[in-house]
Structure 1
Amino acid sequence: MTIISSRYFPESSEQRVMQERTVLDMWNQTLVEAFAVRYKVPRRRIPSALPYTSAAYFSGMKTVLDDWMEPLINTRNSLAHGQWIVAFNEQRNSVNRDRTKRLNALTLWHLRLQKNMLRHLERLIFDLSATQYAFERDFDKHWANLKAAQMRISMDRSQEWEMLLQRRHQRGKGHIKRNYRQLLDAGLI
Structure 2
Amino acid sequence: MAIISSPHFPVPSERRVMDERTVLDMWNQVLVEAFSVRYNVQRSKVPVGLPYTSASYFSGMKSVLDDWMEPLINTRNCLAHGQWIVAFNEQRNSVNQDRTKRLNSLTLWHLRLQRNLLKHLERLVFDLTATQYAFERDFDRHWANLKAAQSRISADKSKEWELLLQRRHLRGKAHIRRNYRRLIDAGLI
| TM-score normalized by the length of structure 1 | 0.99
Q: Secondary structure at the match of 2:32?
A: helix
Q: Which letter does structure 1 place at the counterpart of 2:9?
A: F
Deviation at 1:187, TM superposition (A): 1.1
Deviation at 1:84, TM superposition (A): 0.6
Alignment map for 1:18-37 (pairs within 5 Å): 18-37=18-37
Q: Return the alpha-carbon distance in structure 2 between the equivalents of residues 100 and 76 of structure 1.
A: 12
Q: Return the alpha-carbon distance in structure 2 between the equivalents of residues 176 and 34 of structure 1.
A: 52
CA deviations 1:5-57 (Å, max 9, x no partner) are 11000000000000000000000000000000000000010000000000000
1:63 and 2:29 are equivalent in the alignment = no
Deviation at 1:104, TM superposition (A): 0.5
Q: Secondary structure at the match of 1:146?
A: helix
Q: Which letter does structure 1 place at the counterpart of 2:82?
A: G
Alignment map for 1:128-143 (pairs within 5 Å): 128-143=128-143
Q: In percent, how many aligned pairs have the same letter?
A: 80
CA deviations 1:55-75 (Å, max 9, x no partner) are 000000000000000000000
Q: Return the alpha-carbon distance in structure 1 between the equivalents of residues 32 and 122 of structure 2.
A: 14
* Residue in 1 that maps onto 2:161: 161
Q: Which letter does structure 2 place at the counterpart of 1:132?
A: Q
**Structure 1 stretches of 4+ moved >6 Å:** none
* Residue in 2 that maps onto 1:9: 9
* Residue in 2 that maps onto 1:39: 39
* Residue in 2 that maps onto 1:172: 172
Q: Return the alpha-carbon distance in structure 2 between the equivalents of residues 31 and 184 of structure 1.
A: 62
Q: Number of aligned pairs?
A: 189
1:113 and 2:87 are equivalent in the alignment = no
Deviation at 1:186, TM superposition (A): 1.1
Q: Return the alpha-carbon distance in structure 1 between the equivalents of residues 122 and 33 of structure 2.
A: 14
CA deviations 1:141-179 (Å, max 9, x no partner) are 000000000000000000000000000000000000001
CA deviations 1:76-98 (Å, max 9, x no partner) are 00000111100000111100000
Q: Which letter does structure 1 place at the counterpart of 2:45?
A: R
Computed over aligned residues only, the root mean square deviation of the Cα atoms, in angstroms, reads: 0.4
* Residue in 2 that maps onto 1:98: 98
* Residue in 1 that maps onto 2:77: 77
| TM-score normalized by the length of structure 2 | 0.99
